[in-house]
Amino acid sequence: MEENQAQEGLPIPSIFKSTDTGAPLERCIDCDYPVLEGDRYYMIEKVFKRYPELNRTEVLFEYAICSVCYEKMKDAMSQESMQNLSAYMMQNTDFQKLQERIEEKPDDPEHWLSHCLIKGTSKEEMNEYQMGACFKGDKLATNFMPPFMVGELAMEEMNALLSKETKDEMDDFMGEHFGIPPELRKDLILI
């Protein structure tokens, strides 16, 4: 265990580490920036799919994206989509509940991610959900936003708010990085 963790932020929760190796993600998916060693803030996003009949949960995508590329992605989204998304988040996010969960277990970010931030549905009741969090080096950074989990219903509603232009942009991003065809891209929302 490292010293001074409390002062410097929590370590990367294991749920945000590589599904294959269990090690932290090291590079930005877009520009290859060494996020783990570097100074840039970065986001890690993961999309999970649960197969109840197989009693299994799989990770559909996971990646780290550095702040520079993240801003570029956001800039590429249409003004209209951005406004719609932030209005939706402001109106629908249950910040109160999130705050309660953080206070319940301040050192356990996975507990904060137990329910959809928007709908309040528990992870166990959903077949698809997405998680994201912000990091700097090997520490969780919560100064911009806390880690979040959003479930299938909220993802669908947010998708419906995106302009065609923005959807095309995201399709390109997903196709380029994951070889994901557009019809599957709906599984990911950049927040």
Binding site for Zn ion (CB under 5 A): 28, 30-31, 33, 66, 69
* Distance in Å, CB of 172 to Zn ion, minimum: 16
User: What DSSP line would sit under the chain, residue for residue?
Assistant: --SSHHHH-PBPPGGGS-TTTSSPP-BBTTT--BTTTSSSEEEEEEEEEEEGGGTEEEEEEEEEEEHHHHHHHHHHS-HHHHHHHHHHHHHH--HHHHHHHHHH-TT-HHHHTSB-TTT--BGGG-SEEEEEEEEETTEEE-SS---EEEEHHHHHHHHTTS-HHHHHHHHHHHHHHH---HHHHTT----
Contacts by 122-125, CB closer than 8 A, 24 or more apart:
123/149, 123/151
Is 112 or 173 the residue whose CB approaches Zn ion more closely?
Answer: 173
Is 31 or 87 the residue whose CB approaches Zn ion more closely?
Answer: 31
Is 31 or 145 the residue whose CB approaches Zn ion more closely?
Answer: 31
* Distance in Å, CB of 69 to Zn ion, minimum: 3
* Distance in Å, CB of 177 to Zn ion, minimum: 11
* Distance in Å, CB of 68 to Zn ion, minimum: 5
Is 28 or 44 the residue whose CB approaches Zn ion more closely?
Answer: 28
Is 98 or 133 the residue whose CB approaches Zn ion more closely?
Answer: 133
* Distance in Å, CB of 114 to Zn ion, minimum: 30
